[in-house]
Amino acid sequence: MPNAIRLTSTLLLGTLFVVILLHLSFKAHVLELLATTSANEHLTTSMVSPWYSPLLHGLSFAASGNHTYVAVESTLGIPKYLDVSTVWYAVFTSPITLISIATLLAIVTYLFKSERRYRNQDEDISEVNKDVGGILTRLEVDSAPLHHQSSLAKLSHAIHDLSSHLARVKRHSESQIFQDKLTKLIDRHAYIDHIEAKLKQAELARQKCGLLFIDLDGFKQVNDSFGHSFGDEILIQVAARLSKVVRQYGLEDCHPIHGLEQNLSRLGGDEFSLFIPKLNNPSLCTEIAQSILSDIERDFLLGNKLVKIGASIGIAVYPDSAATPNSLLQMADVAMYRAKTDGRGIFKVYSPEMGSKMRRYHYLLQELRLAISAQSFYLSFQPIVHVEDCAIDYFEALIRWNHPIEGQIPPAEFIPIAEESNLILELGDWILLESCRQMCAWHNAGMKKVKISVNVSGIQLKHRKVFEWVNAALEKTGLPATALMLEITESTLIKASNETISQLQQCRDAGISVAIDDFGTGFSSLSTLADLPIDVIKIDKLFITQANSNPKYRKILNSISELGQQLELKIVAEGVEQTEQFELVKNLGISCVQGYLVSRPESSNNVGSKVLNGNVNHIAATGTSIWLPEQVG
């Protein structure tokens, strides 16, 4: 439309220009012809008004015959007549007129071509506008229509709406990509990227930063007791409480695009982290950590239930603890792990000593994986004997690890690592199978009344269906069920699920014995003990070592012995290392002993040499053998 108006205006102005040009040129040529040619003075004429007379205002025209003349008054008052055709010929053949008309025609031609081009462009823009409108429709974008605007304006408006929609989509998609779906906090990857940027700024400003690694205590029990939906609600409420702490200490740092808080993250599971970008006072970390602990320890309301959990927090400081985001997070994790091992519900600040322990942990974890793959372990066997005649009641299978570089690594060091990493599952499979295989060989050699005892951890009870697991090993090795005993610590057994208890009862029904290990350290009640599916009580070494010097421990031992007799349970005293201890437990009526006084754990070859050589007839008659300690006649 603007182009058409411009073209029309140009034509009108051009026409006006031509009229003025012709008017002036006509008069000029009339005067010129009057001066250079002879005009008619004696004509019989009559006045006329030809069609172009309005264009030549101020001139008079006359007609004589078939000719039209322009009449000009002379100085003497006598009119002179010039033939109009002569004047027009002079006008249209003059260079000025020709140039002007040619220029005007060129301008008009250019404008016509421009108008045609603009019209084509407008049609193209209309098509693009339709396409963009179609895109907006498919994307369900509400766009206000422009009824009286050009196609270009409509296109600009549509593109603006599309751009606004894409910006919203980008914000939403980025928040979806970088956001934890449950708690709506940023995830680990976005958090580390944020910390990396902040550490660069801190390095330039020579500023310290702090990082808190928060791990919930008791969260697993909530999940197991109430279900994952309750656990999810706990995590959502924890995130809300941590967000409140962020606001309380003025640590907000929202992303400019998706608007998520960047100094607080859910790392995964029940782990959270809080970043302090400017640590002017180191005590700020501990103050915030204490505030978080207090907030987490408050009751959580889940429906009509009140749930209590806690938290353990590790603190790392940049650049004192570490200089990169991942290492800073790792050091805070190390400190958090120390807080858990030191009692939970507390915070710890990272120190290099913690790092050395953690490096040792990860080193042994890696070596443990390699050792399991290469089957670099072996079993030792410690006899448990009757106090009356030192007849072997059973052997306890104990795993040993002879590291190619470090030599013997104590089970007390690598077993906890295996349990925490769940490697105990694979390792435990090997221990059970190898123990049954070895006991089957001894059983076939005549030791029909001797059992093999295998330790089972809480991790195995949780992840293995005990009866099916044990039965598969017995079937594979051919060992009778009556020749196998499972040892489970008191602390593990009193926390076992009903399903686990049922599985253990199935084992007992099949002839497998169950022993409660380290009895006296798990604080189980007598009523609980009566309900447990057990055959043997193994008294913890602590009571044995204290009994001779502390009358209270002796009374406890006596009570346990009487309790065992009343419940028809076999009592075993662990950690007997002195003759006085041996005589004490014998006098208390405890039936069996285990400890270095009787024997240290021995290899299968040594057991075979000591038990089988020269005792074949005795073994055939009794189904067992004698294992005499040197100190006991």
Is residue 454 included in any domain, yes or no?
yes
Question: Would you say 268 and 188 are in contact if contact means Cβ atoms under 8 Å apart?
Answer: yes
Using pLDDT thresholds of 50, 70 and 90, give the confidence band for residue 156: low
How far is residue 582's CA from residue 630's CA, in Å, rounded to a whole number?
A: 13
Element (H, E) at 158: helix 151-178
Backbone angles phi, psi at 593, to 5 degrees: -135, 155
Calculate what percentage of the chain has a pLDDT beyond 70. 85
pLDDT at 27: 79
* CATH number of the domain encompassing residue 253: 3.30.70.270
Is residue 311 included in any domain, yes or no?
yes
Which whole number is the average pLDDT over 205-209? 94
Is residue 629 included in any domain, yes or no?
no
pLDDT at 391: 93
Is residue 186 included in any domain, yes or no?
yes
pLDDT at 6: 67
How far is residue 187's CA from residue 262's CA, in Å, rounded to a whole number?
A: 9
Question: Would you say 620 and 395 are in contact if contact means Cβ atoms under 8 Å apart?
Answer: no
Boundary of a domain, candidates 293, 327, 350: 350
Is residue 631 included in any domain, yes or no?
no
Residues 6+ apart with CB under 8 A from 212: 273, 274, 275, 276, 285, 288, 289, 292, 313, 314, 315, 332, 347
**At residue 438, does pLDDT exceed 60?**
yes
**At residue 445, does pLDDT exceed 80?**
yes
pLDDT at 633: 41
pLDDT digits (tens, 9 = 90+) for 127-147: 776 766 667 666 666 666 655
* 589/462 same-domain check: yes
* 504/391 same-domain check: yes
Distance between first and last Cα of the chain: 123
Beta bridge partners of 380: 398
Beta strands in 442-562 (DSSP E): 451-455, 484-489, 513-519, 536-539
Which whole number is the average pLDDT over 595-614? 89
pLDDT at 146: 56
* 170/188 same-domain check: no
Is residue 358 included in any domain, yes or no?
no
Boundary of a domain, candidates 93, 122, 146: 93
Using pLDDT thresholds of 50, 70 and 90, give the confidence band for residue 173: low
Residue 179 three-state SS? strand
* 451/546 same-domain check: yes
What mean pLDDT is reported for the chain?
Answer: 85
* 294/419 same-domain check: no
How far is residue 462's CA from residue 470's CA, in Å, rounded to a whole number?
A: 14
pLDDT digits (tens, 9 = 90+) for 352-371: 888 788 788 888 999 999 99
* 214/319 same-domain check: yes
Domain of residue 476, residue span: 364-622
Between 494 and 284, the more confident residue is 284
pLDDT digits (tens, 9 = 90+) for 372-411: 998 899 999 999 999 999 999 999 999 999 998 899 999 9
Between 114 and 514, the more confident residue is 514
* 113/245 same-domain check: no
The answer, yes or no, to whether the previous bond of 277 is cis (omega within 30 of 0) is no
pLDDT at 365: 92
Residue 241 three-state SS? helix
**At residue 600, does pLDDT exceed 90?**
yes
Boundary of a domain, candidates 29, 61, 93: 93
pLDDT at 132: 67
Which whole number is the average pLDDT over 560-583? 90
Which whole number is the average pLDDT over 305-328? 92
Question: Would you say 392 and 626 are in contact if contact means Cβ atoms under 8 Å apart?
Answer: yes
**At residue 176, does pLDDT exceed 60?**
no
Is residue 98 included in any domain, yes or no?
no
Residues 6+ apart with CB under 8 A from 86: 33
* 494/580 same-domain check: yes
* 256/271 same-domain check: yes
CA angle 253, 255, 259 (to 5 degrees): 105
Which whole number is the average pLDDT over 197-221? 93
Number of domains into which the chain is organized: 4
pLDDT digits (tens, 9 = 90+) for 33-83: 777 766 666 666 677 778 777 777 777 788 877 778 787 776 666 777 777
* 491/610 same-domain check: yes
pLDDT at 163: 66
How far is residue 120's CA from residue 20's CA, in Å, rounded to a whole number?
A: 35
* 436/555 same-domain check: yes
* CATH number of the domain encompassing residue 525: 3.20.20.450
**At residue 174, does pLDDT exceed 60?**
no
Among 355-369, 524-538, 579-593, the range with the most confident prediction by mean pLDDT is 579-593
How far is residue 436's CA from residue 470's CA, in Å, rounded to a whole number?
A: 10
Token duo for residue 525: 């009640």
* 159/198 same-domain check: no
pLDDT at 167: 60
Which whole number is the average pLDDT over 531-544? 89
**At residue 569, does pLDDT exceed 70?**
yes
3-state secondary structure string across 408-457: EECHHHHHHHHHHCCHHHHHHHHHHHHHHHHHHHHHHCCCCCCEEEEECC
Element (H, E) at 380: strand 377-386
**At residue 25, does pLDDT exceed 70?**
yes
How far is residue 513's CA from residue 485's CA, in Å, rounded to a whole number?
A: 4
Between 140 and 538, the more confident residue is 538
Between 34 and 292, the more confident residue is 292
Is residue 320 included in any domain, yes or no?
yes
Per-residue CA distances from 64 to 48, 67, 514 (Å): 10, 6, 148
| β-strand pairing of 347-349 with 264-268 | unpaired
